[in-house]
Amino acid sequence: MYLLIVFIPLVTSLVSGLGGRFIGKLGSQVLTSLGVLMSATLSSVAFYEVGICGSPCYVEFLPWISSDMLRVYWGFQFDSLTVVMLVVVTYVSTLVHLYSIGYMSEDPHIPRFMSYLSLFTFFMLMLVTGDNLVQLFFGWEGVGVCSYLLISFWYTRIQANKAALKAMVMNRVGDFGLSLGIFASFYVFKSLDYATIFSLAPYYVDFQIPFLYWSFGSLNLIGILLFVGAVGKSAQLGLHTWLPDAMEGPTPVSALIHAATMVTAGVFLISRCSPLYEYAPKALLVVTIIGGTTAFFAATTGLVQNDLKRVIAYSTCSQLGYMIFACGLSGYSIGMFHLMNHAFFKALLFLSAGSVIHALADEQDMRKMGGMLNIVPLTYTMMLIGSMSLMGFPFLTGFYSKDVILEFSFAKYTIDSSFVFWLGVISAFFTAFYSFRLIYLTFFGEPNSIRSVVSKSHDAPVIMALPLMLLCLGSVFVGYIFRDLIIGLGTDFWGSALYVSPHNSAHIDSEFIPHMVKLMPVCLSVLGALASLYVYEKLALEIGSLYKTAIWLSVYKFLNGRWLFDSVYNYFVAEKLMSFGYHISFKTLDKGIIEFMGPSGLISLISTWSIRVSRLNTGYLYHSAFLMMLGAVIVLGVTRVCQMESDIAYVKLAFVQVICGLFYLGSVGRDSIKLI
Amino acid sequence: MVWGISVFKLSIPFIIFFIGLSGIFLNRRNIIILLMSVELMLLSINFGFILFSVYLDDIVGQIFSLLVLTVAAAESAIGLAILVIYYRVRKTISIESIRLMKG
């Protein structure tokens, strides 16, 4: 059963991808959806057995690599952490599959799309179920590849291809860090199995890895390198620029990437490696700071984006920042809980956005929307619930995890935790602001879209509405239902899956923080939402004129240009690397030194020298005669001079050579013919 | 003693040979002079043969020099014949104009 969870999506993906021609459009839709549905059902059972009944399960499937000390198995490990991810991934994936049936109904490449979706799910399941770092890496790269395939699903669009390449390359930067982390952990622990690594971690606290003239604390180094991988995959500050561009794919793909799979892998990795991170305080510090700044950065950037999906993309980035810094503060369970909740309301938001975009004939610009309330009331309801859940409105799913994250970070009483606490609180305000900005611009106000489009637009059809409603239920109730199970004080749900060292734990402290602090994020969220509505209802014109002043315009440009990260990267990294690639490695090395030393250089060398040598034959008789004699002298000189011992020979030869030289000079001088 | 004499005696054909050789190199105008230089070289060779024949007391050198004389006569006859024909065709006997093949 446990292996079926993982492999059903692979089988359906292969059948639909390779045999899509035979099973047809409907066949592939039904097959893949049923596949993930079965997988979801089985993962519910797994959740019950492993999570609730507390019986982790390990399956050693097949040997993979066996080379000296390195032994890697295709091994599967189902503990609490895995089953939480399993449930999230399979459920959201099922709903996305269902939704895609409606959303992609007009597309000519449905079998391919469904196949990619299922393959994506399969790789994500491989990632979360692996019991060693290599298998994690397999899934890690697999979701990267699938994200590439899905983002560039409409491969005729240049933007989609560019975005897909960017996603692939940015991810690869992170993956390089991850693979270095894996190498480092093999160097230190001589093993890649989680079980071995994590049980050995406490004994390697003082172990140093020498590198050039430095030496690094092994656990900190491994932690930071693994986190680099997480930064790439989870779009944390530094490698986040691919995520907003990944909006070029179909909307269900964005939902899958942003909600359940792919970006959550980073949080999963850190939680999975919690026994390692607990002994790596510096790595945790890095994780915390990066997570907090990402939350803040993405929240501010989301404020002024005009693309419907891009706003949600930045909110994903921001929420991932929350999860990461929760993990950085050793609140792994809270991070995972937020991940789970976020999966539901973010999938809901994306799919609702897809519904709006579908209704408006693929219009994504919020400035060209407005007044959709009466046209798509169901979608509006769904989006409102999703957004309120996102901003942590009390008694919705987001509230139960987000506020806990903030309380937890307040209760740590360290410098970095206060730093991320304040960033998180400010981000909460911004989150509410841009969520309601999105709702206002899309659903309220005057309709700004084209009349012919609006007159034909309609609410989501049943096949699209059903996933929305199910996700809506999740967005409302999941947080409440699972709160005590997952992050309740003293819950034994996690078993040995997560480890928090006692002096890092702040779970108890967070119960005793001032009520003002507990209420602050909620108040700020509500305030942000109201401010947003007020600004866009009453002050829209004043806002417009505000942007005419230089300072606000520059702020606007800064935020709308996403803190100018892309420009800086393009200018200082991409362009430099591209010009290096063209000028240095291509023109100078490949076309230059290597070709010069190699084929073309040899060709020109031989041809020029053969021309020079053949030019010796000038056609003049006396030159030929001279060369004959010169040749004779050289042959005689070479063959005889060694054998001759008498001084006469030397004298004679010297005489002959002097005469020859004179003749040579004479002939060159008189004719000024360049023999050589 | 032997050393001094042999150097002195050998120097004569040697120098004559080089005069012939330089005639071939340095002469740019006239094929007749070329042929004359060749003759001079052959003469110096003959001189050498006879010198060694006397010096080594061996008759073969003199026989060989007779043969060389014969060959030289025949060769210069043929050479002059070619020269005459060449002159008929080209109206010149300048060596510098004989340049039909280049590398």
Q: Is residue A578 part of a domain?
A: no
Could you tell me if residue A85 is inside a domain? Answer: yes
pTM: 0.80
B103·A621 Cβ contact <8 A: no
User: B75 CA to chain A: closest CA distance, Å?
Assistant: 18
Of residues A618, A625, A666, nearest to B24 (C-beta): A625
Tokens 């020498």, residue located: A210
3-state secondary structure of A407: helix
Per mean pLDDT, which of A196-210, A558-572, B46-60, B66-80 is the most reliable?
Answer: B66-80
Nearest CA in chain A to B19: A659
Burial of A587 (0-12, 13-18, 19+ CB in 10 A): exposed
Q: How far is CA A428 from CA A260, A295, A303, A524, in A?
A: 21, 9, 12, 7
Is B34 within 8 Å of A621 when comparing Cβ atoms?
yes
Count the Cβ atoms, other than its own, within 10 Å of residue B59: 9
Q: From A659, which residue of chain B is nearest by alpha-carbon distance?
A: B18
Asked if B21 and A648 come within 8 Å (Cβ–Cβ), the reply is no
Q: For residues A204-214, give the mean pLDDT.
A: 83
CB within 8 Å: B103 and A614: yes
Note the ipTM here. 0.80
Count other C-beta atoms under 10 Å from residue A433's C-beta. Answer: 26
- Residue A569: inside a domain: no
For range A485-512, the mean pLDDT:
81
The DSSP 8-state label assigned to residue A503 in this structure reads G
- Select from A560, A575, A592 the last residue of a domain: A560
Q: B100 and A616: CB-CB below 8 Å? A: no
Q: What mean pLDDT is predicted for residues A50-62?
A: 87
State yes or no: pLDDT of A676 exceeds 50. Answer: no
Residue A673 confidence class, pLDDT cut points 50, 70, 90: very low
Question: What is the pLDDT averaged over residues A129-154?
Answer: 92
For residue B18, the chain A residues in CB contact (below 8 A) are 659
- Per CB-CB distance under 8 Å, the chain A contacts of B21 are 629
Q: Name the amino acid, one letter, at A558.
A: F
pLDDT, average across residues A550-579:
84
Same domain, A85 and A9: yes
In a domain, A568, yes or no: no
A622 touches chain B (CB under 8 A): yes
Name residue A59's beta-bridge partners. Answer: A76
Q: How confident is the model at residue B6 (pLDDT cuts 50, 70, 90)?
A: low
Check B34 against A663: CB less than 8 A apart: no
Of A221-225, A445-449, B29-33, which range is least confident? A445-449
Lowest mean pLDDT among A105-109, A275-279, A634-638: A634-638
pLDDT digits (tens, 9 = 90+) for B93-103: 887 777 777 76
**A650 at B interface, C-beta within 8 A:** no
User: Which one of A621, A629, A666 has the shortest CB-CB distance to B95?
Assistant: A621
Residue A475 has pLDDT above 60, yes or no: yes
Which residues of chain B approach chain A closer than 8 Å at the C-beta?
A: 3, 7, 18, 21-22, 24-28, 34, 95-96, 98-103
Separation of alpha carbons A182 and A176, rounded Å: 10
Q: Which residue of A has its CA nearest to B24?
A: A622
Indicate the domain borders of chain B. Answer: 7-98
- For position A610, what pLDDT does the model report? 86
Q: Please report the DSSP string for A167-209 in residue order.
A: HHHHHHHHHHHHHHHHHHHHHHHS--BHHHHHHHGGGGTT-EE
Write phi, then psi, for A63 (nearest 5 degrees).
-70, 145
User: What is the SS3 string spanning A363-400?
Assistant: CCEHHHCCCCCCCCHHHHHHHHHHHHHHCCCCCCHHHH
Are B25 and A667 within 8 A, CB to CB? yes
Q: Which CATH number fits domain B7-98: 1.10.287.3510, 3.65.10.10, 3.20.20.140, 1.10.565.10?
A: 1.10.287.3510
Smallest CA–CA distance, residue B53 to chain A, in Å, is 21
A621 in reach of chain B (CB within 8 A): yes
Statement: residue A517 has pLDDT above 80: yes
Token pair for residue A114? 């469904």
Q: Is position A595 within any domain?
A: no
* Average pLDDT of every residue of chain A: 86
Minimal Cβ distance to A615: which of B18, B25, B103: B103
Least confident of A525-539, A639-653, B22-36: A639-653
Q: How many domains does chain A have?
A: 2
Chain B within 8 Å of A666 (Cβ-Cβ)?
A: yes
For residue A464, pLDDT beyond 80 = yes
Question: Which of A609, A613, A622 to mutate: most B Cβ within 10 Å?
Answer: A622
User: In terms of C-beta density within 10 A (0-12 exposed, 13-18 middle, 19 or more buried), how is residue A238 classed?
Assistant: middle
Mean pLDDT computed over A232-239 = 88
Say yes or no to pLDDT of A266 above 70.
Answer: yes
CA distance A504 to A492: 18
Same domain flag for A385 and A435? yes
Residues A552 and A652 in one domain: no
Q: Please report whether residue A584 resides in a domain.
A: no
Domain-ending residue, one of A560, A579, A612: A560
Show the domain range for A156.
2-560
DSSP assignment of A18-30: HSHHHHHHHHHHH
Last residue of one domain, picked from the residues A508, A532, A560 = A560
Question: A58, A79 in Cβ contact below 8 A?
Answer: no
Report the residue of chain A nearest B4, measured CA to CA.
A648
Residue A528 domain flag: yes
**What are the pLDDT digits (tens) for A293-351?**
999 999 999 888 888 888 999 999 999 999 999 999 988 999 999 999 999 999 999 99
Mean pLDDT of A105-130: 91
Looking at the DSSP bridge assignments, the partners of residue A70 are A67
Residue A572 belongs to some domain of the structure: no
When pLDDT is cut at 50, 70 and 90, the band that residue A626 belongs to is confident
Q: Do A263 and A184 touch, CB atoms closer than 8 A? A: no
What pLDDT, on a 0 to 100 scale, did the predictor assign at position A451?
79
Q: Model confidence at A646, in pLDDT bands (50, 70, 90)?
A: low
Q: Does A553 score more than 90 pLDDT? A: no
